[in-house]
Amino acid sequence: MALLRFHATDEAINLTKLKLQLTGATTTIANLAKVTFWDGATKVGEGLFTSATNASDASTTPSFPRSYASTTLTANFLIPKDGDKIMTIKGDLAAVGTSQSGTEGSWIKVDYDGGEVAATQGVGQSSGTTINTGSASDTSSNGVRMFKTFPTVAKVALSTNSLENGQRSLLRFKVTADSHGDVGLYKFTFTIATTGVNVDSIAVYGYVDSAFSNAAYANGGLLNNTAVDLEALWADSTTNINVTFDPVGQGGTAEVIQVPAGTTRYFDVLGTVSNASAGDSISTQLQGDAAYPATAWQTFGPTAPDLLNAGTTDGVDNDTNDDFIWSPQATTTVSVSANAFTNGYGVSGLPSTNLSAEILSK
């Protein structure tokens, strides 16, 4: 949940008490009731959050109720004299799903609370005296998004990076669903840049195996039933290539494809290449997202399958950050119209800009 750096001046200090607070507007006790404190691989304490009011709140009048955890550490956490020590804060997240208390999509933020200096203190190892914290300012952690499950993305090496005419693999990658649940996928976005050579169309296939031989979806694994006409896009000054999925071929009706829990699906981006000659090249990238979608769903309770701060596929697709659209599907397989989708921001293995480019050259 967070890393805290402690510094001891003049003498080594053994930390004995620590006060934390939940600071995110969507961070509630129902989502995170317990935190644990770690010195490397050694657990040194834990704490439970309550809804107690902090005296320092009177002057700040927070726009949301804050929760606090005060803890007496159960093992030594020794901060060296005139040196630093890092503490790792971990959290036990609530279960997400039907009749569970966890809220899908919540942004969980745990921070040091500097409002009460006597609430965080240690014992000087030379003086033997109790020493209060000298840090009156709160921290501001990045926080984590809370989902039932999540995808992990990784690039897969091509069998060859030699550029030739005909239908060629331009990029291969894989998406793995966490063991906690199936992941629904709705959209990939690619950027393709060429030097000299022509790429006339794009088709994306999904497979169940790393040999890219056994189709994972209908139509031999073809995800976009209508190939993307790159020449038409480029003529319209469009650089991003959006691929939504229509594996059954229902006249362009977009669908959500599944990556079952704990499994991997392999994707092959094929382009039709022509007029390749010496010195030509093609660069292909899978795009990521730079920020969480700015949708505003805020009213979902623990029995609802909907994502907090998420939307339908159309809702996310209308956001500036709409390159990789997926769903954690908290309670059931979802349709494109469910308020259960988010983007690629924070997805493991997928940078906020793009996967590293795959380059074919001649």
Q: Give the pLDDT of residue 214.
A: 97
Provide CB contacts within 8 A for 141, sequence distance 6+.
1, 2, 23, 109, 110, 111
Are 201 and 228 contacting, i.e. CB atoms less than 8 angstroms apart? yes
Q: Give the pLDDT of residue 306.
A: 41
Distance CA 334, CA 330 (A): 9
Lowest model confidence (mean pLDDT) among 68-72, 133-137, 169-173, 336-340: 68-72
When pLDDT is cut at 50, 70 and 90, the band that residue 94 belongs to is confident
Are 2 and 111 contacting, i.e. CB atoms less than 8 angstroms apart? yes
DSSP-assigned beta bridge partners for residue 86: 5
Per-residue pLDDT for 342 more than 80? yes
Structure tokens at 231: 């020449």
Task: Provide DSSP, 239-259.
Answer: -EEEEEB-TT-STT--B-EEE
Q: Provide the 8-state DSSP code for 179.
A: T
Percentage of residues in the chain having pLDDT higher than 70: 86
Strand 121-124 to 130-132 pairing: antiparallel
247-306 confidence digits (pLDDT tens): 665 556 788 999 999 999 999 999 999 999 999 999 999 999 998 887 644 333 333 334
Are 200 and 310 contacting, i.e. CB atoms less than 8 angstroms apart? no
**CA angle (289, 267, 216) in 5-degree steps:** 125
Per-residue pLDDT for 64 more than 60? no
Distance CA 355, CA 352 (A): 9
